[in-house]
Structure 1
Amino acid sequence: MSSAEPEKELSPAEIAVRDREEQERKALEAAEQAKLPYKWNQSIRDVDVTAPIPANIKGRDMEVVLTKTKIRIAIKGQEAIIEGDFPHPIIVDESSWTLETTTKPPGKEVNVHLDKVNKVEWWPHVVKGAPKIDVTKITPENSSLSDLDGETRAMVEKMMYDQRQKEAGGMTSDEQKKADLLNKFKAEHPEMDFSNAQIG
């Protein structure tokens, strides 16, 4: 791609279509996630899963299995609430589960905390085969970014910037760096012909 190529501006109609498609995608994703027998959320470092269970269930009635690559949560003798392979491995020693009483609605819920091995990877789902979320649309809150060490944070911010640039049809930070270097070199060497220069 030539660096001289102008970036295509979207017309108001194209923007409206893109926004509508994005809203439809979000609605479909939310509907798929709502059908799951559990709720889950994640930060760049970990995943938390909660599932409602009857108030009369005690910890000893639960069957919870967490390995590096698999999860199974069930009330003994019943069908699993969640079971399957993780999309990415977890740190078993840093992961845990608890049974807690809830007031709204009255009952109990099982809470599972999963510590990711890879701290710079978003999960599309908790277990393979479950409906996926679009991880390219995740924008982590700044507080979780500030928890990361400098090197990891810089890498995550670069990945997020590159993802946004790709979606907008712009240059990634590496492509921008190459373009800047080429422009600097052009300025320092006006006697050279760069009309057919390609960035790649």
Structure 2
Amino acid sequence: MSRSPSPTPSEQRRKDAEQKAREEEEQSKLPYKWTQTLEEADVIIPIPGNLKARDLIVELKKTHLKVAIKGQEPIIDGDFPFPILTDDSTWIISTNDADGTKSININLAKSRGTNWWAHIVTSAPKIDVTKIQPENSKLSELDGETRGMVEKMMYDQEMKRQGKPSSDEQQKQDLLKKFMKEHPEMDFSGAKIG
């Protein structure tokens, strides 16, 4: 089975630009705007300025979102790509003081361990999550476990760049050296590591 040749960098940039333009067009047609971080997703839905909370249906369930103006077809009615933490998710009606327009602002707390979402509800067009450029965060802002994991990944990436063993590979080599030293009676000449 023959593989097609990899695209040149300029062809790849053109394909990426076309895909980004298509995604932006699809997203612009949605009746809402949304953004996300690894921990949460925010949805902003413009609504007529005369509406109040009692005029709306907003249902935040673990795996489903429904937003509607009473008596009308839902604005959003679909399943999340991953579960949310309902107790930590909220919604409010926000009024823009400059022009009096209103919106429903929904904050969705993603379940622990969730990644980037390709869409808010699975029935909506997807975005390419591999192209997301996360905001730079400072290592000092991360919790201890996450910080340790990020530092290890950074160290391993630097070691790989230098052609040196990763921390896991180095640990295995050190264990083997210790074992060999503790057992000089054994012949390790034919041993394969890896």
TM-score tier, shorter chain, comes to 0.7 to 0.9
Q: Residue 54 in 1 paired to residue 48 in 2?
A: yes
RCO higher in 1 or 2 (8 Å CA, sep ≥ 6)?
1
Alignment gaps of 5+ in structure 1: 1-10, 186-191
What's the TM-score once normalised by structure 2's chain length?
0.72
Structure 2 gaps, min length 5: 1-5, 177-188
Correspondence 1:148 to 2:142? yes
Larger radius of gyration: 2
Q: Root-mean-square deviation (CA), in Å?
A: 3.6
Aligned residues, how many? 174
Separation of aligned partners in 2, 1:161 and 1:33 = 37
Deviation at 1:145, TM superposition (A): 6.6
Distance 1:14 1:161 in 2: 31
- Cα 1:193/1:31, change in 2 over 3 Å: farther
Find the residue that maps to 1:21 and give its secondary structure: helix
* Structure-2 change in CA distance of 1:75 and 1:53 (3 Å): same
Q: Separation in 1 of the partners of 2:101 and 2:134?
A: 31
1:101 to 95, 98, 110: 95
Q: Tell me the TM-score normalised to structure 1 length.
A: 0.70
The C-alpha deviation readout for 1:127-164, integer Å capped at 9, x for no partner, is 112111111122221238754313224546878999xx
Match 2:69 to one of 51, 69, 75: 75
State the partner residue of 1:113. 107
Q: Call closer, same or farther: CA 1:101–1:29 in 2, change over 3 Å.
A: same
Per-residue deviation, 1:179: 7.3
Is 2:130 aligned against 1:136?
A: yes
**How far apart, CA to CA, are the structure 1 residues paired with 2:44 and 2:131?**
23
